[in-house]
Amino acid sequence: MFTTPLLSILKARTKQGYRTLGYPKGSPPPLSDRFLGRPVLLPGPCPDDCSRCVDSCPVDALAMRDKRLQLDMGLCLFCGACIEACPRGTIQFSQEFRLAAKDRESLVIRQAVSPVVALPAREETEAETAGILQRTSRQESQVVLLATDISKKFKRSFRLRQVSAGGCNACEADCNVLSTLAWDMGRFGIQFVASPRHADGILVTGPVTENMQIALEKTYKAVPSPKVVIAVGSCAIGGGPYKDHPEQNNGVNTFLPVDLYIPGCPPHPLTILEGLLRFLGRI
Amino acid sequence: MQNGESIPLNAIPKLDFFHFKAALTEGVAKGSRIAGLWAVPSGYEYTLFSALLDPASRTLEVLSSTVEKTYPSLTPDLPCVHWFERDLAERLGMIPQGHPWLKPIRFYRGEAGKVEFFRVEGEEIHEVAVGPVHAGVIEPGHFRFQCQGERVIHLEISLGYQHRGVERALMGGPHRRSIHYAETLAGDTTIGHGTAYATLIEGLSGRKPSLYAEWVRAIALELERLANHIGDIGALSGDIGFLPTQSYCGRIRGDVLNLTALLCGNRFGRNLVRPGGVRYRIEQERLDTLRKRLKQIEEDTSSAIELFFETPSVRSRLEGTGVVPAATAKELGLVGLAARASGVPTDARRDVPWGYYRTQAPSLSVHSTGDCFARAYVRWMEIQESFRFLFLITESIPEESSGEDALLPGDLGSTHLPLDPESFCIALTEGWRGEIVHLAATNQEGKFAWYRVFDPSFHNWFGLAYAMREGEISDFPLCNKSFNLSYCGHDL
């Protein structure tokens, strides 16, 4: 049947409807029940002779310091290997998607040490775990203010030059998706721009490969001051799966001062958007 | 040998170079494709290997030959190996004599892009350099155009900016990170590469996954195809300046990624595929949700993409832009959807089926014109076929052979599967871009002696360069999107 393009466009427009997310005014979009968000370490101490989780971690994000377990979210691939490795269920991942942090140190989660000497076996802790997970999901104290004097200047208009420096295209894709009408970060005045000259900062993905180091530095220099640097994904924060490879540099803070860290492999778009909004002081 | 089959390393036929070359040229003339050409140093000499894929017999043939550092290049007779020989020259310092130009493809020692580019001289000639940092949110690569006015005489693509040493790091494995390397070789093809890696380990260890696990992998792979194809049509639409389809497809792509997250918690399918099986089950309730949401997505997709193809201004922009004729596609050894859009019927799901695709496979989507329209239209055909295939295979859950086989136990590093010593295995999957090849040999201890990955982009980057010839420079974004190749999958 013959239809004019204009009629078809209007027809499709009616069918597709209005789909921009209500977030942050409304509730965030539902996440998969299998989503791994902010890790939770149940109180220790862990048995002296157990290092199964530490051994299972592909990127050494877990470590035992002074008999306390610690997990570096900046390195974590959120693969869940440690969940399965731990015989006691000490490591859990909540549904908390708000993970962004201003300084590198805040990405490290440390285990509390309770007076109880050892946790009971896995089955008995399940109810207790559920309780702790639920509390963690709502713990506002962990979600600190990120806005700085500089970042507040960009509250109503924030332009970013994205630089992929060895990223696998997953972080890139989940940054890109924020420009689609579903997320529409343009409504907050946030935009990816084509030139560093038009930007207020750079958003870096990837571990910074040797081959991209010069291009990254040049791009940073081309951004007018004051400027910010945002590291998105475990590669940009600490090298990710390529940590300690000689072909890369273990992340962007090796060269440049990072103002905002957004962990994940890759971070969920919601994690990125929430981090940016909190950074600008908009939520 | 079969896809995913393991053989003793010394069972690979050794031919003298004359017969090695003859076997390759004759094989290609008879319709086989070269799935890989690689070499391993042995003393002062090199063992040159090649894998021929024969779609007629659905088998792979692996051959080897001992050559010296300098050997007569295969490229003059077999243009499809030109990129492989550049790899040999860069990686091992071999000198394929007679190769037109042995430039590095990955720049292992840094200094990417520091290379002499092909130049066209003349009064009205100008050069345009783009990248490595591009205007959009995409990976880095360098493009050098030789133009006369708007007309592009030649485009040279220089990569390597994403090189992060994956193949080198895989040597001595498998270890805790191996599966993560596979899953991030090209982050948008996590399932494709993850499955190829898992199939390889399964071949070398003899631990076959259950049909249930293969079924889960097939669902995830088709979802990956859907998400990327839908996203690509949206991106093409954006480059044409047709905003409705761009807006809709950008969103719908996310809806599909969320279905993958429904399966495993991650939108890109991370942590779903593991050697020996899968990490997550699809329960009946989850399957019902998947089908219900897929139905809605199918409706939205049809509305968005039918609009795209029925709009005359869209079609006229796509038609005749960036043509790669069938003969050229064959000669260059293009794979995947780029090859199918040029009328070359190649698809690993049918040619060398693995896993669930051995029981049934989606039908082949081919178009003949080889232009941007064809690459968009083949995507649309494949989108429809993947929807059909997904609805078909999700009608019921396959019976689990036995409880223990279905799900993979805890050890995620898969270091628990001992590999046969001194063996060779090759595993292919058909990712959304095309044929993914993983191959490896083990040493006496059953560890990887060497490991090679050929992403479809390895074959196809030159196809993009070719497509731009005699085009206009303003055609580049469109041509680039119509191929949408992986930088990290190439650079490794």
What's the pLDDT score for residue B410? 44
Q: Inter-chain contact B177–A59, Cβ cutoff 8 Å?
A: yes
What's the pLDDT score for residue B66? 94
What's the pLDDT score for residue B306? 94
Whether residue A282 has pLDDT greater than 70: yes
Three-state SS for B412?
coil
Domain membership of residue B102 (yes or no) is no
Whether residue B411 has pLDDT greater than 80: no
Q: Inter-chain contact B176–A58, Cβ cutoff 8 Å?
A: yes
Give the contacts of A42 (CB within 8 A, at least 6 positions apart).
Answer: A88, A89, A90, A91, A92, A111, A119, A125, A128, A129, A132
Whether residue A123 has pLDDT greater than 70: no
Instruction: Identify the CA nearest to B177 among candidates A234, A29, A228, A20.
Output: A234
**Nearest residue in B to A56, CA atom:** B176
Whether residue B402 has pLDDT greater than 60: no
Mean pLDDT of B358-368: 93
Rounded to 10°, the helix B211-240/B476-483 angle is: 170
Residues 30-69 of A with CB under 8 A from B: 31-36, 56-59
Give the contacts of A98 (CB within 8 A, at least 6 positions apart).
Answer: A38, A142, A143, A271, A274, A275, A278
Q: Cα–chain-centroid distance for residue A225?
A: 25
Last residue of one domain, picked from the residues B97, B132, B159: B97
Highest mean pLDDT among A24-28, A125-129, B280-284, B338-342: B338-342
Q: What are phi and psi of B164, to 5 degrees?
A: -130, 15
Domain membership of residue B65 (yes or no) is yes
What is the domain extent for residue B86? 6-97
Domain membership of residue B186 (yes or no) is yes
User: Rounded to a whole number, what is the distance in Å from the CA of A126 to chain B's nearest CA?
Assistant: 18
Mean residue pLDDT of chain A comes to: 87
Question: Do residues B183 and B81 share a domain?
Answer: no
Domain membership of residue B166 (yes or no) is no
Residue B472 burial by Cβ neighbours in a 10 Å radius (0-12, 13-18, 19+): middle
User: Rounded to a whole number, what is the distance in Å from the CA of A145 to chain B's nearest CA?
Assistant: 27
Sheet holding B125-130: strands in order across?
B125-130, B142-148, B151-158
Instruction: Identify the CA nearest to B4 among candidates B270, B166, B198.
Output: B198
A64-85 burial by CB neighbour count: b if 16+ within 10 A, else e?
Answer: beeebbebbbbbbbbbbbbbbb
Contact A173, A183 (CB under 8 A): no
| Cβ neighbour number for residue A131 with a 10 Å cutoff | 10
* CATH number for the domain harbouring residue B408: 1.10.645.10
Using CA atoms, how far apart are residues B8 and B332, in angstroms rounded to an integer?
A: 31
Torsion of CA A108, A112, A118, A122, to 10 degrees: -60
Residues 186-205 of A with CB under 8 A from B: 192, 194-196
Looking at residue A200, the DSSP 8-state letter turns out to be S
> Which among B169, B187, B410 is the nearest to A168, CB-wise?
B187
What's the pLDDT score for residue A135? 59
Q: Inter-chain contact A84–B262, Cβ cutoff 8 Å?
A: no
Q: Is A132 on the interface with B (CB under 8 A)?
A: no
Q: Got the DSSP string for A151-184?
A: HHHTSS-EEEEEEESS--SHHHHHHHGGGSTTT-
Q: Which residues of A touch B267 (CB under 8 A)?
A: 174, 266, 268
Contact B260, A190 (CB under 8 A): no
Question: Do residues B56 and B188 share a domain?
Answer: no
Whether residue B373 has pLDDT greater than 60: yes
Residues 281-300 of B with CB under 8 A from A: 300
User: Rounded to a whole number, what is the distance in Å from the CA of B12 to chain A's nearest CA?
Assistant: 32
Q: Cα–chain-centroid distance for residue B434?
A: 4
ipTM (interface predicted TM): 0.91
Q: Which residues of B touch A61 (CB under 8 A)?
A: none
Question: Do residues B213 and B333 share a domain?
Answer: yes
Type of residue at B366? V
Last residue of one domain, picked from the residues B97, B117, B132: B97
| Residues B235-252: tens digit of each pLDDT | 999 999 999 999 999 999
**Nearest residue in B to A33, CA atom:** B265
Q: Is B162 on the interface with A (CB under 8 A)?
A: yes
Q: Is B258 on the interface with A (CB under 8 A)?
A: yes
> Which among A9, A56, A181 is the nearest to B250, CB-wise?
A181
Contact B146, A191 (CB under 8 A): no
Domain annotation for chain A: domains and CATH numbers = 39-142 (3.30.70.3270), 149-279 (3.40.50.12280)
What's the pLDDT score for residue A134? 62
Question: Do residues B190 and B84 share a domain?
Answer: no
Q: Which residues of A touch B486 (CB under 8 A)?
A: 169
Give the contacts of A135 (CB within 8 A, at least 6 positions apart).
Answer: none
Looking at residue B472, the DSSP 8-state letter turns out to be B
B398-421 burial by CB neighbour count: b if 16+ within 10 A, else e?
Answer: bebeeeebbbbebbbbbbebebbe
What's the pLDDT score for residue A267? 96
Q: Is B130 on the interface with A (CB under 8 A)?
A: no
| Residues B282-321: tens digit of each pLDDT | 889 999 999 999 999 999 999 999 999 999 999 999 999 9
| Residues B160-201: tens digit of each pLDDT | 999 999 999 999 989 999 999 999 999 999 999 999 999 999
Last residue of one domain, picked from the residues B97, B128, B154: B97
How many domains, chain B? 2
Mean residue pLDDT of chain B comes to: 92
Q: Which residues of A touch B185 (CB under 8 A)?
A: 168
Q: Inter-chain contact B162–A59, Cβ cutoff 8 Å?
A: no
Domain membership of residue B478 (yes or no) is no
| Residues A52-96: tens digit of each pLDDT | 899 999 999 999 988 889 999 999 999 999 988 888 888 999 999
Q: Cα–chain-centroid distance for residue B378?
A: 16
| Residues B452-485: tens digit of each pLDDT | 999 999 999 999 999 999 999 999 999 999 999 9
What's the pLDDT score for residue B412? 45
Question: Do residues B78 and B211 share a domain?
Answer: no
| Residues B216-234: tens digit of each pLDDT | 999 999 999 999 999 999 9
pLDDT grade for B403, boundaries at 50, 70 and 90: very low
Question: Do residues B83 and B215 share a domain?
Answer: no
Q: Provide the whole-model pTM.
A: 0.93
User: Rounded to a whole number, what is the distance in Å from the CA of B76 to chain A's nearest CA?
Assistant: 31
Q: How far is CA B445 from CA B134, B420, B423, in A?
A: 45, 8, 11
> Which among A9, A58, A175 is the nearest to B177, CB-wise?
A58
Domain membership of residue B324 (yes or no) is yes
**Nearest residue in B to A243, CA atom:** B164
Give the contacts of A200 (CB within 8 A, at least 6 positions apart).
Answer: A154, A157, A158, A159, A160, A223, A226, A227, A228
Domain membership of residue B37 (yes or no) is yes
Domain membership of residue B170 (yes or no) is no
Q: Is B307 on the interface with A (CB under 8 A)?
A: yes
Q: Is A22 on the interface with B (CB under 8 A)?
A: no
The residue count of chain A comes to 283
| Residues A180-205: tens digit of each pLDDT | 989 999 999 999 999 999 999 999 99
B40-79 burial by CB neighbour count: b if 16+ within 10 A, else e?
Answer: eeeeeebbbbbbbbbbeeebbbbbbbbbeeebebbbeebb
What's the pLDDT score for residue A46? 86
Per-residue 3-state assignment (H helix, E strand, C coil) for B353-408: CCHHHHCCCCCCCCCCCCCHHHHHHHHHHHHHHHHHHHHHHCCCCCCCCCHHHHEC
Three-state SS for B309?
helix
> Which among A32, A209, A212 is the nearest to B265, CB-wise?
A32
Q: Inter-chain contact A212–B184, Cβ cutoff 8 Å?
A: no
Using CA atoms, how far apart are residues B371 and B466, in angstroms rounded to an integer?
A: 11
Structure tokens given for B49 = 């290997």
Q: Inter-chain contact B265–A212, Cβ cutoff 8 Å?
A: no
Percent of chain B whose pLDDT exceeds 70: 97
| Cβ neighbour number for residue A257 with a 10 Å cutoff | 10
Q: Inter-chain contact A242–B169, Cβ cutoff 8 Å?
A: yes
Type of residue at A129? T
> Which among B110, B177, B487 is the nearest to A241, CB-wise?
B177
* CATH number for the domain harbouring residue B49: 3.30.460.80
| Residues B70-125: tens digit of each pLDDT | 999 999 999 999 999 999 999 999 999 999 989 999 998 888 888 888 899 888 99
Cβ-Cβ contacts under 8 Å between A and B: the total is 202
Torsion of CA A171, B437, B336, B5, to 10 degrees: -130
Sheet holding B45-54: strands in order across?
B14-15, B59-67, B45-54, B33-42
Q: What are phi and psi of A91, to 5 degrees?
A: -105, 125
What's the pLDDT score for residue A2? 54
Contact B355, B212 (CB under 8 A): no
Q: Is B86 on the interface with A (CB under 8 A)?
A: no
